[in-house]
Amino acid sequence: MISAHPDDEVLGMGATIKKLSRTNKIWLCVVSEGTSSQYSDKKMIKVRSDACKKSAKILGISKIQFLDYPDMRLDSVPHLEINKQLEKIIKKFKPSIVYSPPSHDLNKDHQKVFESALVITRPFSSSVKKLLCYELPGPVREPFHPSVYENIEKEFSHKIKAFKMYKTEVMKFPHPRSIKAIENLAIQRGVESSLKMAESFQLIRSIEE
């Protein structure tokens, strides 16, 4: 899976990762360092990457690759450069499924990584047969329209445990990145799909053989 920032992976699909990791190898690529727009102290980059590693261990992620592009400034990086870095990873690990950040919210980094995901997973030049976007809490330009729901009732507690590794990112309710708000979203998506709790996704491309 691809995330724009450290913590996108757990917020977007932490419980699904835990579920999939029981029978699959999960590789995570984090495109930006996720801190320099918020903190002037460069030590925070390591704090955030260390949190990502602790979270990944809880979720069962096999390998993480940090590209360390500047946080909230991916639109200043040549699109081709990011694509080439991600294409190297796709060629190395040859995934059949890729999960990407969504493009519907206000975060420019999410939008840029989504655009790259479309390019690097295109048919004829990659091993990828399925591309999905996960949902991230926060302000949006337009509503997220799920087409795939994953039952996460048994895995939700692992998602929360993993998110708590990002101590600087856990907010107070009613912030969308509060524990209660994350739980409420999981319940909402569960109600929509006749489940107790769910994570939702948009299917962008699926090639059936």
State the pLDDT at residue 124: 87
What CA–CA distances, in Å, run from 159 to 53, 85, 104, 142? 14, 28, 23, 26
Number of domains in the chain: 1
pLDDT along the chain (209 residues), means of 10: 97 98 97 88 91 98 96 95 96 96 95 97 93 96 97 98 96 97 98 98 95
Q: Tell me which residue range forms the domain holding 120.
A: 2-206
Q: Residue 151 maps to which CATH number?
A: 3.40.50.10320
State the pLDDT at residue 41: 79
Among residues 59, 100, 94, 83, the alpha carbon closest in space to that of 202 is found at 100
Q: At which residue do the structure tokens 């993993």 appear?
A: 162
Spatial distance between the Cα atoms of 124 and 144, rounded to a whole number of angstroms: 29
Q: How far separated are the first and last CA of the chain, in Å rounded?
A: 22
State the pLDDT at residue 39: 79
State the pLDDT at residue 11: 98
Spatial distance between the Cα atoms of 112 and 101, rounded to a whole number of angstroms: 9
